[in-house]
Amino acid sequence: MKQDLLSFKDWTADQLHNLLALATTIKNNPAGYRTALEGLSVVALFEKPSLRTRVSFDIGINKLGGHMVYLDSQSNKLAGREDVKDMGANLACWADAIVSRVFTHSTLEQLAGSAKVPVINALCDIYHPCQAVADYLTISEHYDDLSKVKLAYIGDGNNVTHSLMLVGVALGCEVIVITPKGHEVDPKIVELTEARAALYGGKLTISTDMSAANGAQVLYTDTWLSMGDDTPLAEIKDTFAGYEITEALMETTGADYVMHCQPAHRDLEISGSLIDGEKSLLMQQAENRMHGQNAILVELLAKDFEPRN
């Protein structure tokens, strides 16, 4: 039975902890995993631009001995040429997995429904699961016990936020989400996250008040304008005034670290000096995209692989 990764909403705490442990193992022993995907091919089908996700999948798959074919659905004029479900069924004739970045989650569901190989969500309108793996891998490299970690996400309630919530509470973290009015996270994801928190011991707090971030060890933000959102910058700046992550906010909250999935907008949602400063985990997150995704690929495509040394 193939396993897709469209979101982490039904992954148990144990499965998530094991995935982070596998990512650490692969990161620490790349030579041992050099043939994990030998002879396997992955198609990356992207409807939106990407720097980190595209390159980290391509290089990561290469390091595992596999091969990636990149398809930009916009510039190759694939979009609208045939039904998504026919595309999925065709790609699965040659590929061993499909990694896809799409505008709407239902496109991933159609691909997953028609492709007989695993489909991995490389970002959609609701989730960014691969980012969340890299982020909690990064946090776990600084804190031994995730159940003692308070992560405050500040800014636009979006795909990145949703995945941080769903994964974070299952790992036992306290996730605090602070957004201005009108930019709240999806209530359905709040409900799902609360159910997971009750099951696994994490906690979710939702607020519009920046003081809710006090005492968090980690502050996290993302762009105020996700891909496809053409709200004018001036308007968005007004809406988010007071929700920026600045040096002053790091002081007030007492946070140890700052995170951002990138692409980041210097001196908008986050001060440029913080991106470059000692409290920044941004490049560690970026590096961990590859290790986290490699763990996902090994888990879905080569579960029984024995590392070589």
The residues annotated as belonging to the active site are 101, 128, 131, 222, 261, 289
Cα 211 to its chain centre, rounded Å, is 26
CB-wise, 214 or 226, nearer to ligand NVA? Answer: 226
Give yes or no for residue 223 binding ligand NVA (CB under 6 A). yes
Give yes or no for residue 288 binding ligand CP (CB under 6 A). no
Give yes or no for residue 222 binding ligand NVA (CB under 6 A). yes
Give yes or no for residue 58 binding ligand NVA (CB under 6 A). no
Long-range contacts of 115-118 (CB under 8 A, 24+ apart): 115/88, 115/89, 115/91, 116/2, 116/89, 116/92, 117/2, 117/91, 117/92, 118/2, 118/3, 118/4, 118/5, 118/300, 118/301
Give yes or no for residue 261 binding ligand CP (CB under 6 A). yes
Rounded to a whole number of angstroms, the minimum distance from the CB of residue 158 to ligand NVA is 4
CA distance 243 to 283: 22
Give yes or no for residue 261 binding ligand NVA (CB under 6 A). yes
Identify whether the C-beta of residue 170 lies closer than 8 Å to the C-beta of residue 8.
yes
Give yes or no for residue 282 binding ligand CP (CB under 6 A). no
Residue 51 binds which of ligand NVA, ligand CP, none (CB < 5-8 A, kind-dependent): ligand CP
Q: Which residues touch 147 (CB under 8 Å, ≥6 apart)?
A: 171, 172, 173, 201, 202
Residue type (1 letter), 164 = L
Residue 47 binds which of ligand NVA, ligand CP, none (CB < 5-8 A, kind-dependent): none
Residue 288 binds which of ligand NVA, ligand CP, none (CB < 5-8 A, kind-dependent): none
Binding site for ligand NVA (CB under 6 A): 123, 158-160, 222-223, 226-227, 261
